[in-house]
Structure 1
Amino acid sequence: MTDAASYVTSRDNALLKDLRKLAQDSHAYRRQGRIWLEGDHLCRAALQRGQRPSHAVFQSSWFDRVGHQWLDTGGKVVVIDDALFDSISALESPGRMGFVLPLPAAPQLQADAPTVILDGLQDAGNVGTILRSAGAFGFRQVLAMKGTAALWSPKVLRAGMGAHFGLHLLESLEAAQLDALKVPLLATSSHQGEFLHRAMLPWPCAWVLGHEGQGVSAALVDRAAQFVRIVQPGGEESLNVGAAAAICLHASAAAQAR
């Protein structure tokens, strides 16, 4: 981090306006070509993944207390009046600091990679949670179909807690683009297919996780090589998709560890 800091005290500051858009508009990162990480824990997770911000942004009182801890961050230091910093955040409890990072370039689709396919998921918390599970269980590629929550939006980034930076992420895909995959598609279902604990799971594979209410779309059902369901002796009709994803991805990882 550079020694000199820029101080922002005006609501009309151009950077402040851009930060508000990045923090409050889930699609602004596509227009600006950069992303907003909010909160010291998420910023530290990004640094641990080798990321370096173009801007390190601090609430004024927080900078006075802990700014010395971020001397090696890199990028331009911006210190914002406390009340103005609160106006940036879309969180109920503003994070007191944040990073601005360049939006990573979309990678090429990896045809043979263990993959997670997000088919129209809407909830940012679910999407971020699934990204964390994907990284933990060895699924390094995540493909988000058109209509899925924006992967690099602030809420998904916060839920992902740094997992984004260890994954190959592609978004806004059409079903036909999945035909390039050379791994079988496994579709989660609440009413058909083998029970997960009995199923022979291929490796590598691509797990398809459907919309929270509507499930897997017809186009991806037609492309699935196998359907799998999770035994639920408690009698619930279905599981939250984030929980179902963790169970399925863990099952694949455990099968490889045997």
Structure 2
Amino acid sequence: MQIDLTGKRAIVTGSTAGIGHAIAKGLAEASAAVIITGRTQARVDEAIEAIRREVGGTQLDGVAADLGTAEGCQAVIDAHPEADILINNVGIFAPQDFFETDDDTWDHFYQVNVMSAVRLSRHYAQGMKQRNWGRVQFISSESALNIPTEMIHYGMTKTAVQSISRGLAKTLAGTSVTVNAILPGPTRSEGVLNMIREMAEKEGISQDEMEARFVKENRPSSIIQRLATPEEVANMCVYAASPQASATTGAALRVEGGIVDTMA
């Protein structure tokens, strides 16, 4: 299968590192013009240069904005009013006891993980509908189904975006615009690796040992029994963004290594 996204413009939110960066690189390799977003211009510039070094002469641009705010989302829209592919990847996570998670934390997670996707999808999906072609993806998580007790506030946001994804797909029924949720499992992203590094230092063991222990203790139902790589998740996203995925919509596409113990 040869995925060719020549002539398509893709926006990947939160794409200066981790899963978002791998998705942006994968789309660029498929010849899409890609817009990188991040919180600082320095991080955006670094991400663009990294992809340019690896992929070569591709069309890359970037926007520095806080997508946890309406103003930040509008900055992306103002800079790039149209897109053929929107990957709602930006997100935050942090373990925290439910009884110690205050209203401000709940609201912050909701604004970044949910409302960024709502605001951008509300704008870009309309243009896709008018042009009768488009791809919208919401990066959810296996935590949307397997709510982690140590991050209930995070799990809630991932369940929410999965719900929005399904509803938007139905709203766009009969068009050539597809909408899907992608459900990664624990992935070797920058944030996860930093968390595991801190845990390893606290326990006085190597990071490799801590990774193995983390999966065994926190995701014992994993079939692959390891963390996924950002590239493994990105491969699913690039396929779902392709013309070949035209009959895949309203779906929850799992890339979680079999953690969720169902066949549906």
The interval holding the TM-score normalised by the smaller chain is: 0.3 to 0.5
Higher strand share: 1
Q: Which structure is larger by alpha-carbon Rg, 1 or 2?
A: 1
Higher helix share: 2
